[in-house]
Amino acid sequence: ELLVILHALRIAWSRRTQSVLCVSDSAVAVELVMHDIQSSHRLAPILYSIEELVHRPWTIQFEHSFREGNKYVDLLARLGQMQGLEVEELVSPPPKVESQVLADIAGDPIVRL
């Protein structure tokens, strides 16, 4: 999850985005990026890279969302796991994601168990 945040912030910065809302369904990842980094933490190098991006001249806000509220990103992540390790930017959503978006627009409820 932290690598996804790092890559997303790098892409946003390269596109000269001024303001970013980073929503993650990992409460642990959100906590890690919002608090001081312990240099002994095994993910410290990734966290330091994120921190360097956060301190650039732009606005970044981090929020936690339950997985159900982030379902399209979750679906994209599952599809991405089948593609390999390369970071891929999409111009439009894959058909599976597009059908989920259309179902959401139609008013299909989100159920949290």
The series of mean pLDDT values per 10 residues for the chain, 113 residues long, is 92 95 92 95 97 97 81 73 70 78 70 55
What is the spatial distance between Cα 78 and Cα 83, in angstroms, rounded to a whole number? 9
Q: Which of 50, 29, 52, 48 is nearest to 39 (CA)?
A: 48
The total number of structural domains in the chain stands at 2
User: Residue 45: its pLDDT value, please?
Assistant: 97
> Chain-centre distance of CA 16, in angstroms?
18
User: Residue 21: its pLDDT value, please?
Assistant: 94
99: in domain = yes
Residues 25, 55, single domain; the answer is: yes
Residues 53, 85, single domain; the answer is: no
User: Residue 70: its pLDDT value, please?
Assistant: 65
Residues 8, 22, single domain; the answer is: yes
What residues have CB less than 8 Å from 63, skipping those under 6 apart? 21, 22, 23, 24, 30
- For 45, the domain range is 2-65
